[in-house]
Structure 1
Amino acid sequence: MRILLVGAGLSGAVIGRRLAEAGHSCRIIDSRSHIGGNCYTERDAETGIMMHVYGPHIFHTDDEEVWNYVNGFTDFMPFQNRVKATAQGGVYSLPINLLTINQFFGKTLHPDEARAFIAEKADSSITEPRNFEEQALRLVGRELYEAFFKGYTEKQWGCSPTELPASILKRLPLRFNYDDNYFFHRFQGIPRDGYTPMFDAILDHPNISVELNTAYTPEMAAEADHVFWSGPLDGYFSYELGHLGYRTLDFERFTYGGDYQGCAVMNYGDRDVPYTRVTEHKHFSPWESHEGSVCHREYSRAAEPGDIPYYPIRLVTEKALLEKYIARAEATKGVTFVGRLGTYRYLDMDVTIREALDTAEAFLAGNDSNEAPPAFLKSPR
């Protein structure tokens, strides 16, 4: 079959590779000048440092099949993300752990003592948190909330934490030991030579053609037997019902003669600091040695037409519009919507790959039994 895949990021590359291996002809197009989507990495021309161009990407998963899959295309090096935070005149360890608690409150608490101490700080009168702020107050109390969550969240999402669902904070760990590894998965790492060579290897198949700087047109779909769309869900329908809400990021690049902050990621919790974090790219490749440094200050704002969408907002207004686009998608034949943008969901890299592999297998199985592929393997609802 002739397959058109719109987007050369994780979803398009992984689905395209599997279908190519099954003998299908896969045409992958991307409007950008490079493969890899937001995972794209490149060496900085001035410093030679490997840069995560669209922000930090640390691969972490408990899915052994996905871990083996990516390691089949590149060499991953061990990497644990150890985030620090500047807040209220101090530097602290994140996620909130025993060191953070003792640092912040000037204590030398043991784990059980810290657990009891935070329980006293927490607002136990909140039994059913209705929003992000109430969830934070219930979890850690006002002092830690205002230092590490309130200002950062207002900058990241552009709204009051009282307008965000409590579920956002339920994903953030609170630890009563000194474990400052931001993630808790069995497998964690970063490709030795960056992510771009991994995409090169995945796309290296005689049944795959890749066209960059190429925008999708409906005529392309007419030439294909099936389309896999990993662009914005509303974009497929030319935003006819309106734009789904996203946050986007602006990056302010600067260089430094030595080691700027001593870690890969430094969050800034204070509201009067306009950026959310600083990434120092050489620390994402500790197996390399660089005297100088290149960093990015990261600013979050509402995405406008033409911006790169990063984080789906998924509040009440967006969910109502999303329902309308889901209905349009489910009534559309010959196209499957995949990935972070195609399903309007925030997805980690490993989940994106898992869903791409499963989508490809479901397509092949349905093709064998003459069943039409669904619009979504995983519902965006």
Structure 2
Amino acid sequence: MVGAGLSGAVIGRQLAEAGHDVSVIDARPHIAGNCHTERDEATGVMVHVYGPHIFHTDDTGVWDYVNRFAHFMPFRNRVKTTSQGKVFSLPINLHTINQFYGRTMRPCEARSFLEGEADTSISDPQSFEEQALRFVGRDLYEAFFEGYTVKQWGISPKELPASILKRLPVRFNYDDNYFFHRYQGMPKDGYTAMVEQILDHPKITVTLGERFERREAAGHDHVFYSGPLDEYFGCELGRLGYRTLDFERFEYEGDYQGCAVMNYGERDVPYTRITEHKHFSPWEEHETSVCYREFSRACEPGDIPYYPIRQIREKALLADYVDRARSERGVTFVGRLGTYRYLDMDVTIREALDTAAVFAQQGPATPAFVTAPL
């Protein structure tokens, strides 16, 4: 298993329970990948080191799986956004609409009102901007989405697909729960403790702080690779594009913002959001807060890749790497980096479980991709 994140840990555990000897290797000095959490020594706050991760799913099998290895506490992500000197709720809901326009509309009135604000000349939205203008109109688009999107992706919303915004619905009620999923929660002792339990099996060995070299594959029946797809091939065809994140950490005596996530949609604020980590563990009490200001930028060599861009150029390059990968034998590419797709944690775990099941049937003949990247 190349990578001790969710993909490597889950596949490794499944195969270890089936009787295989499993070696897990990771270049970082810790397990759990980007969902790594650690207890801050000075404040006692459980910190999401690489940015916040909130577990949410409708997959009962995945929910049951993670609850084997961690005690999940109830958690609802209620995101706020600061715009025009005021604080609003996201996703856009009835409270957001009434507050923004200074009205007291009922659901049916708000629905009709927004239809009047929307650009109904757009019948088939193709870009992020067209999707927003069609469904919420220019005022809400400019207040909450335009600036944030430019900062997050580094390009105009005109150049992004409409599908990105489809993940952010408009609600004509006062529900401010960010996610729709039936199961939502946070592991009481953090994600790293959960991954540690997944990896805790006598047939699993873990090596940290060591990079995988392709020549090492010869000593194993099969390799499951969750690192960057292009890096497996030495970036011979070019680098796939990612956005990375920089975090500006600061402490605050007391409660800094009263919520876990505060977005900043205006372009003149350089960061996209501030996360206050003690609010990700509301069952705990801490006098001091640990906060992150989050800045998005283009990923350079040596940076941690977060968000695959998947624009036209990247998709063409991805197709070339997929062809190269399918010519390999004895290696399967998994996870967010291995398949160059944005994946929530529950989808990552589901695909890892499915991959292990395929290997149980096909062994080393398991294909390069159990889930197609394109």
TM-score class, shorter: over 0.9
Tell me which residue corresponds to 2:219.
223
Distance in 1 (CA, whole Å) between partners of 2:131 and 2:235 is 34
Distance in 1 (CA, whole Å) between partners of 2:355 and 2:126 is 35
Tell me which residue corresponds to 2:6.
10
Deviation of residue 220 (structure 1)? 1.2
Kindly provide the amino acid, as one letter, of the partner of residue 373 in structure 2.
Answer: P
Tell me which residue corresponds to 1:345.
341
Kindly provide the amino acid, as one letter, of the partner of residue 285 in structure 1.
Answer: S
Kindly provide the amino acid, as one letter, of the partner of residue 56 in structure 1.
Answer: P
Tell me which residue corresponds to 1:378.
371
Tell me which residue corresponds to 1:323.
319
Tell me which residue corresponds to 1:202.
198
Instruction: Say whether 1:141 aligns with 2:137.
Output: yes
Does the 8 A contact of 2:62 with 2:349 survive in 1?
Answer: yes
Report SS of the residue matched to 2:365.
coil
Kindly provide the amino acid, as one letter, of the partner of residue 117 in structure 1.
Answer: F
Kindly provide the amino acid, as one letter, of the partner of residue 145 in structure 1.
Answer: Y
Which digits, 9 at most, give the CA deviation of each residue in 1:219-255, with x for residues without a partner?
Answer: 2101111000000000100100000000000000000
Kindly provide the amino acid, as one letter, of the partner of residue 365 in structure 2.
Answer: A
Residue 301 (structure 1) aligned to one of 297, 313, 325: 297
Deviation of residue 89 (structure 1)? 1.1
Does the 8 A contact of 2:46 with 2:278 survive in 1?
Answer: yes
Deviation of residue 10 (structure 1)? 0.2
Distance in 2 (CA, whole Å) between partners of 1:46 and 1:310 is 28
Distance in 2 (CA, whole Å) between partners of 1:21 and 1:268 is 46
Instruction: Say whether 1:259 aligns with 2:248.
Output: no
Deviation of residue 167 (structure 1)? 1.1
Taking structure 2 as the reference length, the TM-score comes to 0.99
Distance in 2 (CA, whole Å) between partners of 1:254 and 1:94 is 24
Distance in 1 (CA, whole Å) between partners of 2:202 and 2:232 is 28
Taking structure 1 as the reference length, the TM-score comes to 0.97
Which digits, 9 at most, give the CA deviation of each residue in 1:134-183, with x for residues without a partner?
Answer: 11000100000000000000000001000111111111111000000000
Residue 175 (structure 2) aligned to one of 165, 168, 179: 179
Kindly provide the amino acid, as one letter, of the partner of residue 11 in structure 1.
Answer: S
Tell me which residue corresponds to 2:310.
314
Tell me which residue corresponds to 1:56.
52
Deviation of residue 130 (structure 1)? 2.1
For structure 2, the residue ranges without an aligned partner over 5 or more in a row are none
Tell me which residue corresponds to 1:22.
18
Runs of 4+ in 1 over 6 A off after TM superposition: none
Distance in 2 (CA, whole Å) between partners of 1:292 and 1:233 is 40
Which digits, 9 at most, give the CA deviation of each residue in 1:49-74, with x for residues without a partner?
Answer: 00011111000000001000000001
Tell me which residue corresponds to 1:281.
277
Deviation of residue 128 (structure 1)? 1.2
Kindly provide the amino acid, as one letter, of the partner of residue 152 in structure 2.
Answer: Q
Kindly provide the amino acid, as one letter, of the partner of residue 107 in structure 1.
Answer: R
Tell me which residue corresponds to 2:228.
232
Report SS of the residue matched to 1:296.
strand
For structure 1, the residue ranges without an aligned partner over 5 or more in a row are none
Report SS of the residue matched to 2:248.
strand
Tell me which residue corresponds to 2:61.
65
Deviation of residue 218 (structure 1)? 2.0
Which digits, 9 at most, give the CA deviation of each residue in 1:69-106, with x for residues without a partner?
Answer: 00000100000000000011110000000000001000
Report SS of the residue matched to 2:158.
helix
Distance in 2 (CA, whole Å) between partners of 1:68 and 1:223 is 34
